[in-house]
Amino acid sequence: MCPISGELIYIYFFYHVGNYRSSKTFKPKKNIPEGSHQYELLKHAEATLGSGNLRQAVMLPEGEDLNEWIAVNTVDFFNQINMLYGTITEFCTETSCSVMSAGPRYEYHWADGTNIKKPIKCSAPKYIDYLMTWVQDQLDDETLFPSKIGVPFPKNFMSVAKTILKRLFRVYAHIYHQHFDSVMQLQEEAHLNTSFKHFIFFVQEFNLIDRRELAPLQDLIEKLGSKDR
């Protein structure tokens, strides 16, 4: 019998198990409407991920629209990070994480350009709350992320998607640098690692995050990439 790969365990947890640590999510899950083309794309992504080849799984399916593929995957990564962070919120507190950081060299201040225009220093849980709420608002905006067939994506879609993914990366970076011991205690490191590997392969495939933004986890990224060669 073949051993079950980390990728297949990951698929099982994120797509088929509804009670991953009692379905604890940080924010409500963003659902793609069943029956829509985007829902079919998501199902295609799940099926391709099931092959265990993450490099192949992130590639744009033949004949599909790039914006739509990026939209579907951005929603999916939001749900994954939402779930992963939801499992460690009890360890990420105003006291333990008084600043939003990814190790001693990287600190993040929050601004969304609308409600908070000047970057503010805040705790990690407050920053991630701001971040995930902001992402949720973008995903719920039908003018940015249209779910109906025939409705075009706006000209600024790619710019918005890149900003969303850049900010979601910071949650991964914070979890790895500040909470990996807790992740290991919960025996969730395999899920975190494969989710992050999927995320990184996707943003690399379409050049969605500047390399400088990835610096806090560059060593891990190189290690994950070398394992896949």
CA separation for the pair 193, 127 (Å, rounded): 23
Q: How many CA atoms lie within 13 A of 122 on its CB side?
A: 15
CA separation for the pair 107, 165 (Å, rounded): 17
**Range 19-29 burial, b when 16+ CB lie within 10 A, else e:** ebeeeebbbee
Q: Binding site annotation covers 97?
A: yes
Beta bridge partners of 101: 107
Other beta carbons less than 10 A from residue 93's beta carbon = 12
CB-based contact 167:131 (threshold 8 Å): yes
Q: Binding site annotation covers 179?
A: yes
Q: Binding site annotation covers 109?
A: no
**Which residues are known binding-site members?**
92, 97, 174, 179
**Which residues are known binding-site members for Zn(2+)?**
92, 97, 174, 179
